[in-house]
Amino acid sequence: MPRPKIALIGAGQIGGTLAHLAALKELGDVVLFDIAEGTPQGKALDIAEAGPAEGFDARLKGTNDYADISGADVCIVTAGVPRKPGMSRDDLLGINLKVMKAVGEGIRVNAPDAFVICITNPLDAMVWALREYSGLPHNMVCGMAGVLDSARFRHFLSVEFDVSMKDVTAFVLGGHGDTMVPLVRYSTVAGIPLPDLIEMGWTTQEKLDAIVQRTRDGGAEIVGLLGNGSAFYAPATSAIEMAEAFLKDQKRLLPCAAHVDGAFGLKGMYVGVPTIIGAGGIERVVDIRMAKNEQAMFDKSVEAVKGLVEACRKIDGSLT
């Protein structure tokens, strides 16, 4: 059986890290596509030359030609510009929408059967636009945000409790922005919910509130520290987890920006929700019950995403 083909659209900081991780994990052969000449070719060759020392079997190719992504099983999209200090993800909307148009057409023509994971920000609006431009089925196009936001939450909690990150589960839903919703009630240490851990004296409400806020600001914290770009190791690792769930039909329950039509009382929009990812792409949206305050936060986040989608429609009248 031939190896799966993984196309990475955008060969910048996240794209290069995705290629390295995909090769290390032997998920398949990798094609790095970018409009910048030399960058995808250079990164592909550099990673391929790590193969003998690491011992992985994967072919890597860098290209500026969409024809090379032909027949890809997975496309991970990072094409576009990242934010600079002081910018919000929403400030990227105009420029990255144009990029989604070009990428969507490239995928429609060359890789219409792929499972597409979008990382480009502002995430929820960009994945919606990418789906519109590509015309692929909704269940085959999703966005990576919830896995990353949850991983940030899990990391901060594991440090607070001094326990293994493996034993911390967490859920962050809603749009990938300031209004994201870390769900404290559904977050646990080995099954013990966070509210119980407060009662057990492991932490305080104040400390937990601060961790929730740090999670919401997780991307901005890194943008501020780096000074010239945004996070790339954790975003790439999160998208690889989703790609692996698809390629290996793992049926993982992962939060991601998926098309929600019916669940959560929503009518046909992309936003961060719990999903099952397997060989059928987004196989199911898991319609969990939320408490009143959680629902209110989620509703606010949904409104923020709707506002961004409206802004996209205003920029490009062909988007209906």
Residue 79 or 140 with smaller CB distance to ligand APR: 79
User: Least distance (Å) from ligand APR to the CB of residue 240?
Assistant: 14
CB 273 within 8 A of CB 255: yes
3-state SS track over 190-256: CCEEHHHHHHCCCCCHHHHHHHHHHHHCHHHHHHHHHCCCCCCHHHHHHHHHHHHHHHCCCCEEEEE
**Residue list 1-60, contact with ligand APR (CB under 6 A):** 9-15, 34-36, 39
Residue nearest to ligand APR (CB): 12
For the CB of residue 17, give the shortest distance to ligand APR in the complex, in Å.
Answer: 8
Give min distance, CB of 268 to ligand APR, in A: 24
Structure tokens at 79: 């094409």
* CB-based contact 254:261 (threshold 8 Å): no
176 catalytic? Reply is yes
With CB under 6 A as the contact rule, the residue among 119, 147, 208, 254 that binds ligand APR is: 119
35 is in an annotated binding site: no
* DSSP H or E stretch at residue 305: helix 292-315
> Annotated binding residue at 14?
yes
What DSSP character marks residue 139?
A: G
Return d(Cα 176, Cα 129) in angstroms, integer: 15
Residue whose CB is less far from ligand APR, 62 or 281: 62
Q: How far is the CB of 90 from ligand APR (least distance, A)?
A: 11
Q: How far apart are CA 200 and CA 197, in angstroms?
A: 5
Contact flag: residue 143 with ligand APR (CB under 6 A): no
Residue 96 or 275 having the CB closest to ligand APR: 96
The answer to whether the bond into 122 is cis (omega within 30° of 0) is: yes
Number of residues in contact with ligand APR under rule CB under 6 A: 29
284 is in an annotated binding site: no
CB of 143 to ligand APR, least distance (A): 10
User: Is 143 annotated as ligand-binding?
Assistant: no
Segment 217 to 236, residues that bind ligand APR, using CB under 6 A: 229-230, 232, 235
Residue from 20, 138, 155, 176 carrying the catalytic annotation: 176
83 is in an annotated binding site: yes
Q: How far apart are CA 173 and CA 188, in angstroms?
A: 15
Identify residue 315 by its one-letter amino acid code.
Answer: I
Angle, to 10 degrees, between the axis of helix 146-161 and the axis of helix 233-247?
A: 120
Is 313 marked as a binding-site residue? no
Cβ atoms of 175 and 167 within 8 Å: the answer is: no
Catalytic residue annotation: 176
Binding residues for substrate: 83, 89, 121, 152
For ligand APR, the binding residues (CB under 6 A) are 9-15, 34-36, 39, 78-83, 92, 96, 99, 102-103, 119-121, 229-230, 232, 235
Binding residues: 10-15, 34, 83, 89, 96, 119-121, 152
